Amino acid sequence: MAIRPRKWLERKAREQVLRQWTALANGVEALGPASLRHLRSEALDLRGNLNRFLTGADRHAVRSRAALDALHLPGGTDWRWRPAFMAGRISPRGLVAPESGGLLCDGAAVWHDCPERALILEQIVTSGATELSPFGIRLEGFGFSGSFLSLSVDLPASVLQGLTRSHILRLETGISAERAACVYARLNIGHGPNIDEITLQLPGFEPGVYSQQVTEFDLAYTQLNEKRLEKIWLDLIFEAPRMNAVEIRELFVSRHLRAEF
The pTM (predicted TM-score) of the whole model is 0.71
Bridge-based pairing of strands 119-125 and 167-177 is unpaired
Residue 126 and residue 100 in contact, taking contact as beta carbons nearer than 8 Å? no
Q: What is the pLDDT of residue 30?
A: 85
Residue 156 and residue 261 in contact, taking contact as beta carbons nearer than 8 Å? no
Q: What is the DSSP string of the chain?
A: ----HHHHHHHHHHHHHHHHHHHHHHTGGG--HHHHHHHHHHHHHHHHHHHHHHHHHHHHHHHHHHHHHGGGSPTT--EEE--HHHHS--SS-EEESPPTTEEEETTEEEEE--TT--EEEEEEE---TT---SEEEEEEESS---S-EEEEEEPPGGGGTT--TTEEEEEEEEEEESS-BEEEEEEEEEETTEEEEEEEEPPPB-BT--EEEEEEEEGGGS---TTSEEEEEEEEEEE--TTEEEEEEEEEEEEEEPPP-
Residue 82 and residue 133 in contact, taking contact as beta carbons nearer than 8 Å? yes
Res 95 pLDDT > 80: yes
pLDDT tens for 159-187 read 999 999 999 999 999 998 888 888 999 99
Q: What is the mean pLDDT of residues 252-257?
A: 94
Res 2 pLDDT > 60: no
Res 64 pLDDT > 80: no
Higher-pLDDT residue of 61 and 34 is 34
Q: What is the mean pLDDT of residues 197-205?
A: 87
